[in-house]
């Protein structure tokens, strides 16, 4: 019964994933890549962001990322801003004291989030704790690292995934990321689609 329930949840998530529309994007200087931010269109003022991320897999994977439902969005952004403030403080401390090779968790409770990853034509979904940390590299670069490791597919406990990454190198990148998950991006996309539909009645 439990296996059937997990399969049903995965099927619903798969259907949602295939009804997404790209609403924005964000960039990562660390990976020198730009990632899409997709979303389902609002229904009863509820929607879901599907945020593409960097993969921890050594093999090329088509897509992976984190899922943020609209009812978790405000809390997610508030935590990002609290983390950004601490990141600025710790970066200043690291620079002033010539710190290198250092990691420290942010003392912020993020809770559980859903993730997606894809092999070939198959989508898989799972839940895991989100726990970003502050990192100073060997050359003194300061980073925020979101690293969700060893994900297990909800529809197959033998299907594991190395994890997904989001890495920020500055407060500007954090702010740009926050702008990419602004709810207005979704509502504007919906309005544009509705305006087009009006032309073809």
Sign, Cα dihedral of 93, 102, 137, 30 = negative
The Cα–Cα gap between 154 and 150 comes to 13
Q: What is the pLDDT of residues 120-173, one digit of tens each?
A: 678 889 998 888 999 999 999 999 999 887 788 888 787 778 888 999 999 999
Rg of the chain over CA atoms, in angstroms? 18
Q: In what order do the strands lie in the sheet with 33-39?
A: 21-28, 33-39, 48-52, 64-69, 112-119, 122-129
Placement of tokens 């009812």 in the chain: 71
Residue 128 CA, chain-centre distance (Å), reads: 12
Burial class (CB in 10 A: 0-12, 13-18, 19+), 66: buried
CB 155 within 8 A of CB 125: yes
Placement of tokens 């801003």 in the chain: 81
- pTM to 2 decimal places: 0.85
Q: What is the pLDDT of residues 15-48, one digit of tens each?
A: 444 588 999 999 999 999 999 999 999 999 899 9
Q: Name the strand (E) or helix (H) holding 178.
A: helix 171-180
Which of 8-17, 90-99, 103-112 has the least mean pLDDT? 8-17
């Amino acid at each position: 019964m439990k296996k059937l329930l997990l399969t049903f949840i995965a099927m619903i998530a798969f259907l949602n994933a295939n009804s997404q529309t790209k609403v924005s994007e964000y960039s990562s200087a660390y990976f020198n890549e730009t990632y899409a931010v997709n979303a389902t269109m609002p229904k009863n003022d509820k929607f879901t962001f599907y945020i593409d991320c960097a993969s921890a897999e050594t093999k090329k994977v088509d897509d992976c990322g984190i899922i943020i439902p609209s009812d978790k969005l405000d809390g997610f952004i508030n935590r990002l801003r609290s983390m950004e403030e601490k990141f600025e403080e710790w970066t200043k401390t690291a620079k002033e004291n010539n710190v290198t090779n250092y990691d420290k968790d942010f003392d912020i409770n993020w809770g559980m989030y859903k993730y997606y990853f894809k092999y070939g034509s198959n989508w898989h979904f799972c839940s895991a704790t989100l726990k970003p940390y502050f990192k100073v590299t060997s050359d003194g670069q300061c980073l925020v690292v979101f690293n969700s490791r060893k994900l297990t597919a909800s529809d197959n406990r033998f299907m594991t995934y190395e994890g997904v990454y989001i890495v920020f190198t500055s407060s500007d990148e954090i702010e740009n990321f926050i702008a990419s998950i602004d709810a207005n991006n979704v509502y504007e996309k919906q309005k544009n689609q509705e305006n087009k539909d009006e032309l073809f009645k």
